[in-house]
Structure 1
Amino acid sequence: MARTVRNLRIGVDVGGTNTDGVILDPTRSSEPGRGIVAWHKASTTGNPSNGINNAITKMFSNSKIHPDEVASVTIGTTHFINAVVERDAARLAKVAVVRLCGPFSKGVPPCIDWPAKLRELILGYYCFVDGGLGVDGNLISEIDEDQIREQAKIIKSKGIKSIVVNSVFSPIDVLYKQEESAAEVIRELYPEADVVISKEVANLGFLERENAAILNASILPFARRTIASFQSAISRLKLQCPVFITQNDGTILLASAASKLPIRTFSSGPTNSMRGAAFLTQNEINEAMMIVDIGGTTTDVGLLLANGFPRQAAAFSEISGVRTNFSYSDVRSIGLGGGSIVRRWEDGSLTVGPDSVGYQLPEKAVIFGGDVPTATDYTVLDDSKLDIGDRSRVPRDVLDKNLSEFKAVVKNMLERAIDTMKTSADDIPVLLVGGGAIMAPDELVGASKVVKPEWSGVANAIGAATARVSGIIDTIESTDTMTPTRVMEEVSKRAIQKAIENGAKAETVQVVEMDHLPLQYIANKSRFVVKAVGDFDFTRETLSEAPNLVGRLELDDMTEFKKVSSSTKDPYKEDSEVDEVDIQSYKPNIQARDWIISEIDLAWITTGCYILGTGGGGSPYGHMLRLREIMRNGGIVRVISPDDLKDDDLVGCGGGKGSPTVSMEKLAGDEMMQSQTELYKYMKVKPNAVIALEIGGGNGLQGMILGASTNMNIPTVDGDWMGRAYPVAWQTTPVIFEKKPVFLPSTICDGNGSVMFMTQAKSELMVERAFRAALSQMGSHVGCAKGPVTGKNTKSWVVEHTISLSWRIGRAVALSRSLNRIDNVAESIISEVGGDESAKVLFRGKIVGVERTLRIGHVYGEVMIEAMNLSGENGSNSKGRYKIPFKNENILAIREEEDGSETILASVPDLICVIDAQNGEAIGTPEYRYGLLLIVLGIVASEKWTSTPRGLEIGGPKGFGLDEVEYKALGKFRKPQSVIDEYGSEPEILLA
């Protein structure tokens, strides 16, 4: 008997309110019916398996499809992300965090950057124990099994069953396997616990990986039961085919794998809708469009590019206010859906959501006999054509007077969400999908047209059915015997093969992402990341045909998950941790010419520091968190003008030295303060103030961290020795004006027991060479204390008011975001740094390639950019290709001409700053990757660098070995205005 051809795909999307299903024949996708054989929409049930079973059974009945014709079932769900967005204690487990970090990262504890309410809900316990690796793969310290057993006993006594183990540099730990060893010790003592090791969840980026692992651990028990219920439904239907869950990037993951890594599915719902929308509008809309997916619980808004793929998020992404290092579609979620609860508050305001009755809509909504007013009730009341529920149940005297206001609130919520996602004020087509699209108006401000395509109500299920299969290889490889290009080819072959093993059709597989990241200070070692994607091969018989039920299932416990209600107060107002500041009217706190830094100031300065880092200096984010903790624990951060220094004052200097990759992974311990303490103990003096070595990147905050620390308690000078970031510490302004060493003695400490002094040298270059030689043996990151200089010399050598400049740049970015005018953020920054004479937009575009190599510990490379206008339209008024060579920091900005020649648009010492076109934040050279949309700014350097031949020799192209490049100034330098001078006193009123 001939075997039935399996060519049908089932897509099911299980939302918080509705379960949507579709049966699709991909061989008929070009037909008017798009190959849609059947579709169904029903309410999500308390046990999701019932809803899946009902949807598929109904579709089988309507289309006369036999189960043997089905090649695969792919399920997308918003269950897991909804639990986090709604902060549902019934679905989020308490988590304990065990950090293998030795003496590092203790100033930045777990969940330090989380919204307070979510941190309180999830974080149950954390501890710091021995362990961790350096970037070179050597141990910070061995793990201590007795320590881990002791902590496991404490965790067990607290009844916390979800545990995260996070080790410094665990993604490159292939030898010691510390996370795996620690997890095994915990499981032996506490076998009933779920232990999540961070390296299986995400990659390099210590805090972001830990955050992702914590969210994954918190949702794990609920996810396991939910996915088990999915598979149970498929088994009851006697479907003999693989079961997949859609991932954040629109590809699919076997259900058994998804049950261990549910966080990879967090953004799959909106991604499915966007891919489904692309499928439904193929060959009809050939420009970028905004996709608005209105479900039962949330509305998700994302930009679908003209090429049919969703716009990707920035280098770091936020999930309900939690920063993670996943890359997925750039989607904004708001608490608006068909099940959103409508309330009238004591102050007279009417709100819609963010909380929702979810899948209990058929029980709790007024039109179904319940007593909870929902968005669906108001929508049915407004549209007599809707055949949903019983309209007569609606108390018109109550709802009628609220209807117009309800419609205005919904319209405003949608328009704000759309406007936030736009990068330009220009109108853009808006495509409405999802079951809740019926509540959206036919016209929206900001939309050139509003489209509701046929089958839009099940676009998410269509996206699931058409999802592709991926294979990802993320590995550390040697480049000792093969070139990086050859290694990349081999890794690409492995990624393609992995995609095929995962079920992809061989001839359709393509490599869609690749990255090569040399590891600083490690000879001949690089990280290679390759992703291959292909169509699912529904004719294959090599895959297991029977659903592979998840282990440790407790299907009898798959009860209805009832949301724990917190209070009757407005959830938005209740969750506000800090009152929103009026950016335009905000004034910093100046007391007797001391600038007392607030958390608002700190946030803006942090943004500005990374932009001034010109791609290098490392992200200041972790340093910002540490300084904020110091401030919240009573530390006072004072900034003074260099003009207020006395000639005989001693001004200290400190900062981190080493690789940005290390600083984002091995968070600082006490090495910075230890280096200061050791230096001044040796010198038998104390400084009166401290100054940052460089304003660019993480070191831009080090002066304030040291000054506010208990051991120092001194002010920080509003300035630095670079006015930007440079790769090496001898590229500083004091070296321009003084040929003999000016910072001796100097000290470096690794924070792990090693201290090194340099007391004599012929030049600062020799000091730098000696410290750099020691650096690789000290973990590639050290705290450095440089000998103090006098106040008189500081006033002569300093690049003035750069903390003020950082503050102004950060404020400009914050203001652009608050006004939803990111398209003007570059112009706002230019205004703050001196106007059109002092800065300019060099070009806008998309990264199309990155090449990196390692030389003497520094990452050299080039990033290639294709010019684009970033207005959200499909075209590109700007044309051409550009490239930026970098040595940790950006060195040149070059335009490639049509005749093959090159034109240098900007060069060091002028600042070449790359910012994310989607949010205005800086993009550092370690974060360069294909597809990022960016704006490149050129800012004129301080005259301290450009006014003398020695300044240009040290900080210009020659300082980077580019003797053939002649520096040409972008414009005229304008000294930044001091915040202290501007806000320190009221202007004198002159009478006529």
Structure 2
Amino acid sequence: MSALKNLRIGVDVGGTNTDGVIIDPTRSGEADRGIIAWHKAPTTTDPSHGIADAITTMFQAASVDPLSIASVTIGTTHFVNAVVTRDATRLSRVAVLRLSGPFSKHAPPCVDWPSSLRNLILGHYALVKGGLEVDGELITDIKEDEIIEQCKIIKEKGIKNVVIIGVFSPIDTIERQEERAAEIVKKELKDVDVVLSKTVANLGFLERENAAILNASILSFARKTISSFQNPIKNLGLDCPVFITQNDGTILSGEAASRLPIRTFSSGPTNSMRGAAFLVGKQEKGEAMMVVDVGGTTTDVGLLLANGFPRQQAAYSELSGVRMNFSYPDVKSIGLGGGSLVRRIDGALKVGPESVGYKLPEKALVFGGDVPTATDYTVASSRDISIGDADKVRGKVSEDDIQAFRAETKRMLEQVIDTMKTSPEDLPVLLVGGGAVIAPDELKGASHVIKPEWSGVANAIGAAMARVSAVVDTVKSTEKKTEKEILAEIEEEAKQRTVDAGALAESVNIVEVETLPLPYISHKVRFIVRAAGDFDYSRSSDFARLAVPIDAGASPTDEATTETIESNQSAPSTSEEDIDYATSVDFNTYIPKVVSREWIISETDLQWITIGCYILGTGGGGSPYSTMLRVRGILRAGGKIRVVSPDDLKDDDRIGSGGGAGSPTVGIEKLSGDEMMHAQDHLYSLYPGGRPTHFIALEIGGSNGLQGLVLSASPNLNIPCVDGDWMGRAYPTKWQTTPVVFGEREIVFAPVCVADGNGNILYMPTATSDLKVEQVIRSALTQMGSHVGCADGPVTGAETRRWAVEHTLSLSWRIGREVARARKENRIDNVAEAIINAVGGPDTGRVLFKGKIVGVERKLWMGHIYGEVIIEASDTSYTGKIKIPFKNENIAAIRLHEGQESKTGEEKNEDVLAIVPDLISVIDSQNGEAIGTPEYRYGLLVLVVGITASERWTSKKGIEIGGPKSFGLEHLEYKPLGRFVKPVSVIDEYDGKTSV
């Protein structure tokens, strides 16, 4: 009779140790949690040896029958380490084919990568026809002959890994452009690996492409590594599937992991979190928990949500300088571990961040070494710990230092726990990891501190008990079905995908749902749904057959191909373009280049302006990131970007304007081509008054704040950009601008020209009102891909001096400079106050609130996103909750009273902290960056800053057009937050001074 397959093996192959555990999940409710055996040993050069040793040792210790093993699940850092270390023997060159038509040309693949990694991996790229609009319509169909031509080039270059990425491919279920292109590539090249971007990550073109390229670069290494993992399983006679853990705490089959190794990049911290939750069991069921994993060098802290999954990073993740958008746990690390150095600096006892790391057994006092470590102080402060020779420590550290050590480690842990919490209430804190002994038994912010038994191998336990999950991220039309009906269908699809991935059908449930209506697009909603369930072990044999073919003699330490090594040899290890220009300068001596009252923009200036533009966007305007990349490309290509003060304009100068209009969701996927310039060129080919002499941004807030720099520096114009704009922020409509407020012309924004970048151009020479211009453009948007470039007829220099919100590029620059300075000087805790100082001090701005997002609601009406975000205080200086209603941009910040419903219409004037036209910006408290309304997520730690509006907006008509009543808040009155302080012009301050 065959043995009952009821045991699970979990192995975590870390950079320092390989941990293993054997668990009987049917006994998880017992005192020993069903743990039959465990093992911890240093990681071997060939990980297969360490895996074999771990399993063999546990089998011998517990007399386990190999036939009783139902599964082996492995967590590994090998793939992510290959990228982090730029290991040329493990990374292959990649070719990229973009199915994008005329779009994305100004942001080529790997444009935002560190040059050493880009030069190592990117072997070739091409933009070919293809791509979809957000509604599923074709931008263009793919052309087989174009792809065949690129295949010839790829073959000549000897590249064996190809990424195919199409615009809006994650929602492409009908045209199947990526799949069809892949079939052509495989037919032409035969022995290549092809990665489809839609299988790697979700919406967000650049970030998805980045993830797909990294995934492709490690495919060969991943296959060898996973094959080597399977060797010991086979040799030990185990007839069971081998799984690899992925970033969200769930499992991939070995076959799936060999195709998508990038999904395993951050499985280590996740395994520890899931393992910790398993160890405490039903005691904490249904409650969020903080998991603190104390290692030898660092402490990793993450929040395990009530649904059993780690909280994920909000929008983007970054690895080794590469920005991506695949699922990644939100983990914060501090330099505290068992090997942390302990010493006095300037009279104060300091713990870490330096560490002896894996040399702890030879360096620490307790083991006969001469370096005082956190482990030594822990041993000295407790008579109950038997580590090494405790007598070698006692007498070498003073009682005062021991008490100071306790206080400092407690402070460090309490601070990081408070940072990661999502509400002021205390919650359980689980301490795991080999260094957990250095942590105290009580911590502020913790309802109780738990140090579960077997916590030293929590990562292996998490691997063994990992679940199965699947995510559906798509855009659907609500024209014929209700949002509720569509959501029900998508939830069923997510459940079925989870079952297909190996889950037991009756155990699958929905663990995460998010709906995001798309602005300016009729009846379109983005749905993100995650389902999860337990593995169906009755189907183990199906997954055992999906093993990766074991290459004869293959080893993850094999040398790379000659072509890869040659690529690495030619790649520089460092490059000037890899410098973080936002923080690399000396803030006390940096002087922007201003010559004869023209400000010549540098990369440092650009980085600061970008940060400031998004903060001034008050939640809207779209992220300026991709536009920043385009401006940076102009500078690196030798282009010159000039900015002049509105004060210096001549009366008869002609000031052009324009920018992008449409949905930010479209903007993150269909990256700009030449639609902005097409609109400008067409307008001035028809406009009788001549081309402009200067350019001014329509709005400083968000992406359009940088469009003025793009257009003014284009070869077609090559004119200065004015230090100002028509909003001083971002507003949702074109008529909410200062030229309309002044009302000196019957109509300002006609003639107007809009272009979609795909050959469709609309010219409107006259209109009855600026409102009508807005309405026509919004109507055309749906048929023009929901994103267009706009060109507005010029106004005079005299009009610009009267109408413009002045010096807003300077203001963005000053805000960005203070955010960058706070980062460099580790003063992010005070970044909100620094921003207020940058805009004119406490008279003109105020920190309104500090807290965590605890609720977000959104709905689409008349093309705009309406909603509100609820923020709960997390800082001792603030109490209660506030709500921020928004219409694309934030409208107001309103205090909520206990028990008060957050419904529009119930607010009172005395509860209003700030309201339009004053600016309300929500800022990420972790890095000082603005958070746009599409990025609002539960649990984000935020700062809310209020800035008094420009005097251009505080007239009666200004308040009528840009105040509360224009947003439907008829019951509220505008009361200025403070006194407007005119931004100091960079040109006025630095003209003629020496630039560095």
Q: TM-score, normalised by structure 2?
A: 0.84
Q: 1:26 to 1:902 in 2, by over 3 A?
A: farther
Q: 1:570 to 1:380 in 2, by over 3 A?
A: farther
Looking at structure 2, the residues matched to 805 and 211 of structure 1 have their Cα atoms a distance apart, in angstroms, of: 32
Residue in 2 aligned with 1:596?
A: 600
1:936 aligns with 2:937: no
Q: 1:468 to 1:288 in 2, by over 3 A?
A: closer
Q: 1:670 to 1:502 in 2, by over 3 A?
A: closer
Contact residue 860 and residue 885 of structure 1 kept, 8 A: no
Letter in 1 for 2:555: M
Q: Following TM superposition, by how much is the alpha carbon of 1:463 offset from its aligned partner in structure 2, in angstroms?
A: 2.2
Residue in 2 aligned with 1:48?
A: 47
Segment drifting more, 903-912 vs 204-213: 903-912
Q: Pairwise mapping of residues 877-956 of structure 1 onto structure 2 (< 5 A)?
A: 878-880=879-881, 882-897=882-897, 898-900=899-901, 901-903=906-908, 905=912, 906-948=914-956, 950-956=957-963
Q: Following TM superposition, by how much is the alpha carbon of 1:624 offset from its aligned partner in structure 2, in angstroms?
A: 0.2
1:860 aligns with 2:865: yes
Look up the SS of the partner of 2:526 in the other structure.
strand
Residue in 2 aligned with 1:328?
A: 328
Looking at structure 2, the residues matched to 467 and 415 of structure 1 have their Cα atoms a distance apart, in angstroms, of: 31
Looking at structure 1, the residues matched to 577 and 559 of structure 2 have their Cα atoms a distance apart, in angstroms, of: 21
Q: Following TM superposition, by how much is the alpha carbon of 1:78 offset from its aligned partner in structure 2, in angstroms?
A: 0.4
Contact residue 845 and residue 865 of structure 1 kept, 8 A: no
Q: 1:290 to 1:791 in 2, by over 3 A?
A: farther
1:380 aligns with 2:362: yes
1:982 aligns with 2:986: no
Q: Following TM superposition, by how much is the alpha carbon of 1:484 offset from its aligned partner in structure 2, in angstroms?
A: 1.0
Contact residue 731 and residue 889 of structure 2 kept, 8 A: yes
Q: Following TM superposition, by how much is the alpha carbon of 1:86 offset from its aligned partner in structure 2, in angstroms?
A: 0.4
Residue in 1 aligned with 2:824?
A: 818
Q: Following TM superposition, by how much is the alpha carbon of 1:578 offset from its aligned partner in structure 2, in angstroms?
A: 5.6
Looking at structure 2, the residues matched to 386 and 281 of structure 1 have their Cα atoms a distance apart, in angstroms, of: 36
Looking at structure 2, the residues matched to 496 and 546 of structure 1 have their Cα atoms a distance apart, in angstroms, of: 19
Q: 1:418 to 1:160 in 2, by over 3 A?
A: farther
Q: How many residues align?
A: 920
Residue in 1 aligned with 2:382?
A: none
Look up the SS of the partner of 1:664 in the other structure.
helix
Letter in 1 for 2:888: N
Contact residue 822 and residue 917 of structure 1 kept, 8 A: yes
Residue in 1 aligned with 2:343?
A: none
1:644 aligns with 2:648: yes
Residue in 2 aligned with 1:366?
A: none
Segment drifting more, 147-156 vs 913-922: 913-922
Look up the SS of the partner of 1:250 in the other structure.
coil
Q: 1:258 to 1:986 in 2, by over 3 A?
A: closer
Q: Pairwise mapping of residues 511-910 of structure 1 onto structure 2 (< 5 A)?
A: 511-520=510-519, 522-536=521-535, 540-544=537-541, 547-551=544-548, 553-558=550-555, 560-561=557-558, 577=579, 580-682=584-686, 683=688, 685-738=690-743, 739-856=745-862, 858-869=863-874, 878-880=879-881, 882-897=882-897, 898-900=899-901, 901-903=906-908, 905=912, 906-910=914-918
Looking at structure 2, the residues matched to 374 and 88 of structure 1 have their Cα atoms a distance apart, in angstroms, of: 24
Identical-pair percentage: 59
Looking at structure 1, the residues matched to 680 and 462 of structure 2 have their Cα atoms a distance apart, in angstroms, of: 57
Letter in 2 for 1:653: S
Contact residue 671 and residue 783 of structure 1 kept, 8 A: yes
Q: Following TM superposition, by how much is the alpha carbon of 1:290 offset from its aligned partner in structure 2, in angstroms?
A: 7.4
Could you report, residue by residue, the CA deviation over 1:587-613 in whole angstroms, capped at 9, with x for unpaired residues? 322222222211111111111111111
Look up the SS of the partner of 2:952 in the other structure.
helix
Q: Pairwise mapping of residues 129-148 of structure 1 onto structure 2 (< 5 A)?
A: 129-148=128-147
Q: Following TM superposition, by how much is the alpha carbon of 1:190 offset from its aligned partner in structure 2, in angstroms?
A: 0.7
Segment drifting more, 593-602 vs 901-910: 901-910
Q: Pairwise mapping of residues 299-338 of structure 1 onto structure 2 (< 5 A)?
A: 301-304=300-303, 310-331=310-331
Letter in 2 for 1:967: Y
Looking at structure 2, the residues matched to 195 and 93 of structure 1 have their Cα atoms a distance apart, in angstroms, of: 13
Looking at structure 2, the residues matched to 736 and 374 of structure 1 have their Cα atoms a distance apart, in angstroms, of: 65
Looking at structure 2, the residues matched to 199 and 821 of structure 1 have their Cα atoms a distance apart, in angstroms, of: 39
| Aligned Cα root-mean-square deviation (Å) | 4.0
Letter in 1 for 2:932: G
Looking at structure 2, the residues matched to 425 and 589 of structure 1 have their Cα atoms a distance apart, in angstroms, of: 41
Looking at structure 1, the residues matched to 697 and 652 of structure 2 have their Cα atoms a distance apart, in angstroms, of: 19
Q: Following TM superposition, by how much is the alpha carbon of 1:196 offset from its aligned partner in structure 2, in angstroms?
A: 0.7
Looking at structure 1, the residues matched to 980 and 872 of structure 2 have their Cα atoms a distance apart, in angstroms, of: 27
Look up the SS of the partner of 1:259 in the other structure.
helix
Contact residue 637 and residue 715 of structure 1 kept, 8 A: yes
Q: 1:549 to 1:743 in 2, by over 3 A?
A: closer
1:274 aligns with 2:273: yes
Q: 1:504 to 1:896 in 2, by over 3 A?
A: farther
Could you report, residue by residue, the CA deviation over 1:916-963 in whole angstroms, capped at 9, with x for unpaired residues? 222221121222333333233232222212222x21222123323443
Q: TM-score, normalised by structure 1?
A: 0.84
Letter in 2 for 1:547: A
Q: Following TM superposition, by how much is the alpha carbon of 1:114 offset from its aligned partner in structure 2, in angstroms?
A: 0.3
Contact residue 242 and residue 547 of structure 2 kept, 8 A: no
Segment drifting more, 174-183 vs 249-258: 249-258
Could you report, residue by residue, the CA deviation over 1:799-847 in whole angstroms, capped at 9, with x for unpaired residues? 1111111112212222222233322222222222233343333334433
Q: Following TM superposition, by how much is the alpha carbon of 1:284 offset from its aligned partner in structure 2, in angstroms?
A: 11
Looking at structure 2, the residues matched to 419 and 582 of structure 1 have their Cα atoms a distance apart, in angstroms, of: 33
Looking at structure 2, the residues matched to 209 and 40 of structure 1 have their Cα atoms a distance apart, in angstroms, of: 38
Could you report, residue by residue, the CA deviation over 1:329-369 in whole angstroms, capped at 9, with x for unpaired residues? 234679999999xxxxxxxxxxx999xxxxxxxxxxxxxxx
Contact residue 500 and residue 506 of structure 1 kept, 8 A: yes
Q: 1:228 to 1:865 in 2, by over 3 A?
A: farther
Residue in 1 aligned with 2:377?
A: none
Looking at structure 1, the residues matched to 825 and 412 of structure 2 have their Cα atoms a distance apart, in angstroms, of: 12
Contact residue 301 and residue 417 of structure 2 kept, 8 A: no
Look up the SS of the partner of 1:174 in the other structure.
coil
Q: Following TM superposition, by how much is the alpha carbon of 1:141 offset from its aligned partner in structure 2, in angstroms?
A: 1.4
Looking at structure 2, the residues matched to 461 and 889 of structure 1 have their Cα atoms a distance apart, in angstroms, of: 45
Look up the SS of the partner of 1:187 in the other structure.
helix
Residue in 2 aligned with 1:395?
A: none
Residue in 1 aligned with 2:222?
A: 223
Q: Following TM superposition, by how much is the alpha carbon of 1:122 offset from its aligned partner in structure 2, in angstroms?
A: 0.7
Contact residue 23 and residue 37 of structure 2 kept, 8 A: yes
Looking at structure 1, the residues matched to 199 and 524 of structure 2 have their Cα atoms a distance apart, in angstroms, of: 21
Q: 1:959 to 1:433 in 2, by over 3 A?
A: same
Q: Following TM superposition, by how much is the alpha carbon of 1:454 offset from its aligned partner in structure 2, in angstroms?
A: 5.7
Q: 1:114 to 1:419 in 2, by over 3 A?
A: farther
Letter in 2 for 1:969: P
Segment drifting more, 817-826 vs 541-550: 541-550
Q: 1:419 to 1:214 in 2, by over 3 A?
A: farther
Q: Following TM superposition, by how much is the alpha carbon of 1:273 offset from its aligned partner in structure 2, in angstroms?
A: 2.6
Q: 1:896 to 1:375 in 2, by over 3 A?
A: closer
Looking at structure 1, the residues matched to 558 and 878 of structure 2 have their Cα atoms a distance apart, in angstroms, of: 52
Contact residue 21 and residue 35 of structure 2 kept, 8 A: yes
Look up the SS of the partner of 2:703 in the other structure.
helix
Looking at structure 2, the residues matched to 166 and 415 of structure 1 have their Cα atoms a distance apart, in angstroms, of: 48
Q: 1:415 to 1:222 in 2, by over 3 A?
A: farther
Could you report, residue by residue, the CA deviation over 1:754-810 in whole angstroms, capped at 9, with x for unpaired residues? 222211112111122222222222222111111111111111111111111111221
Contact residue 517 and residue 526 of structure 1 kept, 8 A: yes
Segment drifting more, 784-793 vs 887-896: 887-896
Contact residue 423 and residue 917 of structure 1 kept, 8 A: no
Q: Which runs of 5+ in 2 are unaligned?
A: 341-351, 370-396, 398-405
Residue in 1 aligned with 2:375?
A: none
Letter in 2 for 1:982: E
1:966 aligns with 2:968: no
Residue in 2 aligned with 1:153?
A: 152
